[in-house]
A and B are shown apart, each in its own frame.
Chain A
Amino acid sequence: MRRTKLAAFFIALTTLSGCAGGAAGSAEETPTLRWAVTLPAHWDPVVSGSGAQFRILSLAYASLTEINEKGEAVPSLAESWDYNDKGDQITFHLRKGLKFSDGEPVNAEAIKSYLERAKTQKDSALFGDLTSIETVTAKDLDVVVDLTQTDYQIPLLLGERVAQIPSPKAAADPAALDKNPVGAGPFVVTENVPGSHVYLKKNPDYWDAANIKIEKVELLSAPDTATIVSGVQTGVYDLAGLAPNQVKAAEAAKLDVVVQPGYNAANLSINVNKKPFDNPKVVDAIRYATNRQEFVDKVSFGIATPTDQPFPDTYLAYDSGSANRWPYDVAKAKALIAEAGYQPGDIKVDLVIPNQQTAAEIIQSQLAAIGITVNIKVDPNWATPFFAKDLALSIYGTTGRESPVQTLTAHFGPNGPLNLSTPYEPEGFEAAVKVARETPLDSADYQKNLQAATRAGLESRALVFTYSLPNLFVKSTRVSDFAPIPGQLHWAGLTVAP
C-alpha cells in the first residue's frame, strides 16, 4: 500500500518536472520584460523621494525632462523651455494632446499642482530639492516657474528624479496614489500586489509610444543575490540588479552584465562640530589615512573606481585639479595626529551605521593604522541621529543628482542633507555655487564654473569621498542594450526578443 503511494508520488513528480520544463521553455507571445527588483514601497513620486526608486517609477510616470547620454536635459513631457533674460523665470512648453492613464489631460495645471504638492505635502521627500522655486503659474500648456534666484539648473532638476508627474485627479487622494500610480508614462499598472509583484502593460497614449517596443513589464520581488544569476540564466527573469560579487558568475553564465554609468559616490561623513574633529589636523590625518583602492578591491571586487569627489572622475563637474589632494600617506597622517596633541590610542570614536558593511571595517582598520580607535555601532535607527546631525562619524553613499549643483549643495551646503556638519560650510563655497548656478548650461564657462564650485566644496572637512560604483545590472541576451544614460534607465527603443 505504502509502496504504491510512494510510486505514485514519484510519477507525479516526474510528470510535473516535464511540464515545468515545457512552461519555462515556451515561446513568449508578447514581448515581456521580467524585472527582479526590490519593489518600490511608494508609488507617489512626492513620497518616494530621491532614492533610486525613480528608475522603477519611470515605467509608470513620464517626467518633465529627461537626461541624455551626456547628462544634458532633453524633452519629455516638456517639448521645450526657455528662460527670461535674468534667468530667474523659466517657462516649460508641454506637448499637445497628451493625457494621463485615467484620461485627465496633461497640462500646465497638472504640473503646477504636482510641484505645489511636492513643496507642501506633509510627507514630501522632495521639498528640500525645490527651494529654488517660488511660484508656479499655469497657462494652458505653458508652465511658468518663478525662481527665488537665478538658476539655470532647473531643467536638470525637474527631471526624472524630482518631477515624475501623476494625474492631478488621482493625486487628490495621495494615499491612494501612493499605492497605485496614475501617470502618463510608457506603461500602465494592471496588477499590483505589494511585496509580491507588479504587472504593467504598454500605454498607447505615452508621448513616445512609437518607440516603446515592449508590451508588458512584470516587476517581481528579487531573490537573494546568490540566486539572481541562475534566475536570469533559466529565464525566470530577464533583468535584475547585480551585486559586485556576482559579476563573475553572471559573465560565466554568458549573461550580459550592464555597467550603467551613475553619479554614485560613497563617503565617510565627519562632524566637525564634535570632538576630536573640531581640530582640522585630525580631519587632515583622516584624509591622508584613507586608502581608496582598498575600498574598490574589497567592497566592489574591483568594479568601482576610487574617487575623492562626490561623483566619478568621468563626470563634467569632477575637478581634476583637486584630484589626489590628500594622497594616501600613513606617516604624514600619524604626524598630524601627533601635531594635534594626541598620542596613539587617545582618540576613540563611534562609527554609527545603519547595517553591517564591509566599508565600515575598512575604515576601522585604516584609522587604526594611524592610532584612532573606531568602534563600529550598528544602529537600525541610524537615520534619526544622522539627519539630525548628532553623529560624530558615519558613512553614506549618494545616488547623485542630475543637477551637479544640487549634488554639491546637498553635500557641502549649510542645509545639505548629506552635510553631517551643518551649518558648517567651506569658505567661498556659497559664492562659487552661485556662479555655477547662474551660468547657463550651454555657456562655454559652465564646466569651468562647476569645477570651481566643486573645488570650493572639497575644502569641506565634513566629507571624505572613497569610491564610486556604477549601477550594475544583469540581463538576458534577449534584452537589447541599454542606452548608457547616467543614473537612469530609458525604455524607448528597448526590445525583448521572443
Chain B
Amino acid sequence: MIKGLLRTVAIFVPVFLVATFVTFALRALSGLTPAHLQLGESATPEMVAAIEHEWGLDRPFLVQYLDWFGELLKGDLGVSWFNGADIATLLLQGAIVSLSVAGLALVIGVVFGFGFGVLAAVRRTTWVDRAITGFMTFISVMPSFVVGIALVVVFAVSLGWFPSAGYVPAERGTGVWLAHLVLPAIALSFDTVSDVARQLRAGLVAAYRENYVTGAVVRGIGPRRIFFRHVLRNGMGPALVVLGMKFPNLLGGAVVTESIFGMPGFGQFAADSAQRGDVPAVQGVLVVSVVLVVVFNLLVNVILVRVAPASARGV
C-alpha cells in the first residue's frame, strides 16, 4: 500500500514537472501576451511592451517558470490575464460545479453500467444480452452534446421536468441543486455506462468460463454465491480500470456539456481560458487536472486491491 503510494508519487513528480514545463514553453513559443486582452483597439506596440513588463514577461523564461513553480507550491496559481481574478479561487468554484456533474455522471455510470453489465452476463447469449449489447453500442457513439441538446428538448422544453441550463449551489437547496445536475450528468454518463457495461459483461463472461467456477458449480454452491464470491470479484477488474480512466474523460467531456448547459464549471473555464489565450489560467487548469487524475487513479487502485487482491501482484 505505502509502496504503491510512493511509486505513484515517483511517477507523478516528473510527469507534473514535464507537463508544466511544456505548457510554460508553449506560452513562450506562442508569444501570447495579456496586453490585447486588456487594451483592445488601443494596443500600440509601446503599450503592449509596458503591460508585458508589468506582468514580468520580459524576464528570462526559466526565471518565470521557477517563480511560478515556487508560488504553485504555496498554493498560489497567480491571477488571470483576462480579468485579474485569483485563478485558484476561480478553479475551486469551477471544480465544485464540475465535480458535482462528473460525480453524478459517475454514479449514473456505475449504477447503470454495472446493472446492464451484470444483467447481460447473467443472461448471456439470450435476447436480453443482445439487446443490452446493442443498446450500449448505440449510446456509446452518441456525442454528449447531441445527447445534451436532445435531453433539453425532451425533458426541459417539452415536459418541463428539469431546468434547461444553469447551476444552483447546494446551499440553496439539495433538490434544486440536483435538478440542475440531472440532465448534464445523464448526457455525460452515456459513455461511462456503455464502457463499464461492456467491460463488465466481457469480464464476467470470461470468469464464468473459468475452472474454479465450474468447480464451484460441481460442489453445489448456489448461483448467487458463485456470482458474488467468484465471478464478480474476479471479473470486475477491467471494468474498474475503465472506470478509473473514465474520470479524466468525464472532466474533459464536461467542456462540451457545461457549455451546452451554461454551467460555470471547470471545463467551461478551461475552454474559455484557452480560447482567450489566458495562459496562467490554462496552466492552473493543467495543474489541477493532473492532480485530480492521479488522485482518482490512486483511488481506483486501492479499491481494485481490495476486491481483487491478485491485482496488487501485477498478475
> Which residues of chain A have a CB within 8 Å of any CB of chain B?
2, 5-6, 9, 13, 16-21, 23-25, 36, 41-42, 47, 49-51, 122-128, 175, 178-179, 193-197, 220-224, 226-227, 230-231, 233-234, 236-237, 355, 380-381, 383-384, 387-388, 410, 417-418
Which of A175, A220, A226, A387 makes the CB contact (< 8 A) with B84? Answer: A175
- A21 CA / B47 CA spacing, docked (Å): 52
- A342 CA / B219 CA spacing, docked (Å): 92
For residue B33, which residues in chain A have a CB less than 8 angstroms away from its CB?
381, 384
- A64 CA / B51 CA spacing, docked (Å): 29
Closest Cβ–Cβ distance, residue B31 to chain A (whole Å):
5
Q: Are A20 and B93 in contact (CB under 8 A)?
A: no
- A489 CA / B167 CA spacing, docked (Å): 27
- A122 CA / B43 CA spacing, docked (Å): 12
- Residue-wise interface mask of B (211-232) relative to A, using a CB-CB cutoff of 8 A (1 in contact, 0 not): 0000000000000000000000
Q: Are B165 and A417 in contact (CB under 8 A)?
A: no
Asked whether A227 and B161 contact (CB < 8 A) given A383-B43, A387-B41, the answer is no
5 additional contacts (CB under 8 A) given A220-B166, A227-B262, A418-B41: A20-B161, A20-B175, A41-B82, A178-B84, A195-B94
Closest Cβ–Cβ distance, residue B53 to chain A (whole Å):
10
Q: Are B268 and A221 in contact (CB under 8 A)?
A: yes
For residue A196, which residues in chain B have a CB less than 8 angstroms away from its CB?
93, 167, 264
CB-nearest residue of chain B to A355: B275
Asked whether A2 and B115 contact (CB < 8 A) given A193-B93, A233-B157, A381-B31, the answer is yes
For residue A50, which residues in chain B have a CB less than 8 angstroms away from its CB?
40-42
CB-nearest residue of chain B to A222: B262
Chain B residues 7-56 with CB under 8 Å of chain A are 30-33, 35-45, 47-48, 50-51, 54
B interface majority secondary structure = helix
CB-nearest residue of chain A to B30: A381
Asked whether A21 and B160 contact (CB < 8 A) given A47-B38, A127-B42, A221-B262, the answer is yes
Q: Are B259 and A223 in contact (CB under 8 A)?
A: yes
For residue B203, which residues in chain A have a CB less than 8 angstroms away from its CB?
none
Residue of B33, B178, B180 with highest tally of chain A CB at under 10 A: B178
- Asked whether any CB of chain A lies closer than 8 Å to the CB of B302, the reply is no
- Asked whether any CB of chain A lies closer than 8 Å to the CB of B294, the reply is no
Q: Are A128 and B277 in contact (CB under 8 A)?
A: no
Q: Are A20 and B162 in contact (CB under 8 A)?
A: yes
Which of B40, B82, B93, B164 makes the CB contact (< 8 A) with A227? Answer: B164
Chain B residues 288-309 with CB under 8 Å of chain A are none
Q: Are A381 and B32 in contact (CB under 8 A)?
A: yes
Asked whether A16 and B115 contact (CB < 8 A) given A123-B38, A193-B93, A381-B277, the answer is no
Asked whether A220 and B179 contact (CB < 8 A) given A123-B39, A388-B45, the answer is no
- A24 CA / B162 CA spacing, docked (Å): 8
Q: Are A226 and B260 in contact (CB under 8 A)?
A: yes
- A352 CA / B275 CA spacing, docked (Å): 17
For residue A127, which residues in chain B have a CB less than 8 angstroms away from its CB?
42
- Asked whether any CB of chain A lies closer than 8 Å to the CB of B287, the reply is no
Q: Are B84 and A197 in contact (CB under 8 A)?
A: no
- A194 CA / B93 CA spacing, docked (Å): 10
Q: Which of B65-73, B148-156, B239-247 contacts A (4 or more CB under 8 A)?
A: B148-156
For residue B162, which residues in chain A have a CB less than 8 angstroms away from its CB?
17, 20-21
Residue of B82, B149, B260, B262 with highest tally of chain A CB at under 10 A: B262
- A41 CA / B51 CA spacing, docked (Å): 17
- A144 CA / B153 CA spacing, docked (Å): 58
CB-nearest residue of chain B to A23: B176
For residue A195, which residues in chain B have a CB less than 8 angstroms away from its CB?
83, 85, 90, 93-94, 264, 268-269, 272
Closest Cβ–Cβ distance, residue A166 to chain B (whole Å):
16
CB-nearest residue of chain B to A389: B45
